[in-house]
Amino acid sequence: MLASTIRRIFFSFTFILVFSASSQAETISYNVTASGGAYFIDGVSRAELQLTVGNTYVFTGFPGFHPLRLSTTDNGSWGGGVNYQDNVTTTSNSITIVVTEDTPNLFYYCQNHSGMGAAITIAPTYDNVISYSVTAAGGAYFIDGVLRDQLNFTPGNTYVFDGFPSGHPLLLTATPDGTHNGGVSYTDGVTVSANRLEIVVTEQTPALYYYCLYHPGMGASISIALAEENVPAMGLGGILLIGLLLTAVVRRANRRIS
């Protein structure tokens, strides 16, 4: 009876570990327009993008006379490069790329006109993607409904601020209240679109603040914790070690019962 119970615990525990350790793949769409000799990605002119391994990215909406393409060379064919095609699907006004561990840093560019695009950085996979719903009212941000919520980030995680209105663009900074207090926007590992900000937190990420580009006093602080030694972070080696230990316990219990 004891051995059977331990076996059930072992298999349940192993399943939880494997399930928890899996990455959260996403499909992320960018709306692409063109004006004044430049691409606008979700309304941002020549936005520099950061794509994460394991995710699928769709660039959609660009006009037929400004066909967007990808390349490992700055400005693509205009800079002497060629189109990047690995895991890329192209239609008349959309291009989809599945980012893998082999995907290099890229550039998006217009096949018909020089100088319209910008750089794409490829970031590694992280086990945890945490999303915050952001609203604004009464001169303050609400994070998941909490007024000026003070946040805590952990290295190895990706954090997404989603839904803030265009009249209150959210940015990050290392200075309280950002540019309203003499600071500058923090951009390392940060991708910004019209109403979405994503940051990949590393051990080098400093303590931060989120703030509104247009209005002072709307945000709050973000502390950076030490990387947690949590279960998913153990990886396959940790799972196997626990499995071996539990197997030894089962065998010892069997010997005692017999």
Considering the domain architecture, whether residues 151 and 219 belong to the same structural domain is answered as: yes
- Cα(58)–Cα(44) distance, integer angstroms: 16
Considering the domain architecture, whether residues 41 and 115 belong to the same structural domain is answered as: yes
Determine contact, residues 141/134, Cβ cutoff 8 Å.
yes
Is 258 inside any structural domain? Answer: no
Listed in sequence order, the residues at least 6 apart from 42 whose beta carbon sits closer than 8 Å to its beta carbon are: 30, 31, 193, 194, 195, 196
Considering the domain architecture, whether residues 151 and 187 belong to the same structural domain is answered as: yes
Q: Which among 62, 89, 123 is the end of a domain? A: 123
- Cα(143)–Cα(221) distance, integer angstroms: 12
SS3 call for 83: strand
Is 18 inside any structural domain? Answer: no
Q: What predicted TM-score, i.e. pTM, was given to this entire model?
A: 0.48
Is 109 inside any structural domain? Answer: yes
Domain at 180, CATH number: 2.60.40.420
Residue 234 forms beta bridges with which residues?
Answer: none
Listed in sequence order, the residues at least 6 apart from 73 whose beta carbon sits closer than 8 Å to its beta carbon are: 79, 80, 81, 82, 107
Which tens digit of pLDDT belongs to each residue from 153-177? Answer: 999 889 999 999 999 999 999 999 9
Is 180 inside any structural domain? Answer: yes
Considering the domain architecture, whether residues 47 and 111 belong to the same structural domain is answered as: yes
Q: Which of 224, 227, 178, 185 is nearest to 205 (CA)?
A: 224
Considering the domain architecture, whether residues 149 and 197 belong to the same structural domain is answered as: yes
Which tens digit of pLDDT belongs to each residue from 187-208? Answer: 999 999 889 999 999 989 999 9
Is 10 inside any structural domain? Answer: no
- Cα(94)–Cα(64) distance, integer angstroms: 10
Is 17 inside any structural domain? Answer: no
Inform me whether the pLDDT recorded for 230 exceeds 50: no
Q: Which among 72, 96, 123 is the end of a domain? A: 123
- Cα(143)–Cα(42) distance, integer angstroms: 22
Inform me whether the pLDDT recorded for 54 exceeds 50: yes
Q: Which among 62, 88, 123 is the end of a domain? A: 123
The mean per-residue pLDDT over the stretch 45-74 comes to 95
SS3 call for 20: helix
Considering the domain architecture, whether residues 132 and 216 belong to the same structural domain is answered as: yes
Determine contact, residues 199/190, Cβ cutoff 8 Å.
yes
Considering the domain architecture, whether residues 148 and 107 belong to the same structural domain is answered as: no
Considering the domain architecture, whether residues 31 and 80 belong to the same structural domain is answered as: yes
pLDDT averaged over every residue in the chain: 85
As given in the structure block, the two tokens for residue 84 are 């990047």
Q: Grade residue 20 by pLDDT with cuts at 50, 70 and 90.
A: very low
Considering the domain architecture, whether residues 137 and 218 belong to the same structural domain is answered as: yes
Considering the domain architecture, whether residues 163 and 207 belong to the same structural domain is answered as: yes
- Cα(9)–Cα(43) distance, integer angstroms: 52
Considering the domain architecture, whether residues 209 and 165 belong to the same structural domain is answered as: yes
Q: Which pLDDT does position 255 carry in this prediction?
A: 60
Determine contact, residues 37/187, Cβ cutoff 8 Å.
no
Largest CA distance in the chain: 82
Is 231 inside any structural domain? Answer: no
> Between residues 212 and 14, which one has the greater pLDDT?
212
Q: Which pLDDT does position 53 carry in this prediction?
A: 87
Is 145 inside any structural domain? Answer: yes
Inform me whether the pLDDT recorded for 5 exceeds 70: no
Q: Which pLDDT does position 14 carry in this prediction?
A: 37
Which domain range does residue 42 map to? 27-123
Half-sphere exposure of 132 (CA within 13 A, CB side): 26
Phi and psi torsions of 256, nearest 5° = -65, -40
Q: Grade residue 26 by pLDDT with cuts at 50, 70 and 90.
A: confident
Q: Which pLDDT does position 226 carry in this prediction?
A: 78
Which tens digit of pLDDT belongs to each residue from 125-154? Answer: 655 789 999 999 999 999 999 999 999 999
Considering the domain architecture, whether residues 142 and 187 belong to the same structural domain is answered as: yes
Our count of domains for the chain comes to: 2
Q: Which of 183-192, 218-227, 244-253 has the lowest mean pLDDT?
A: 244-253
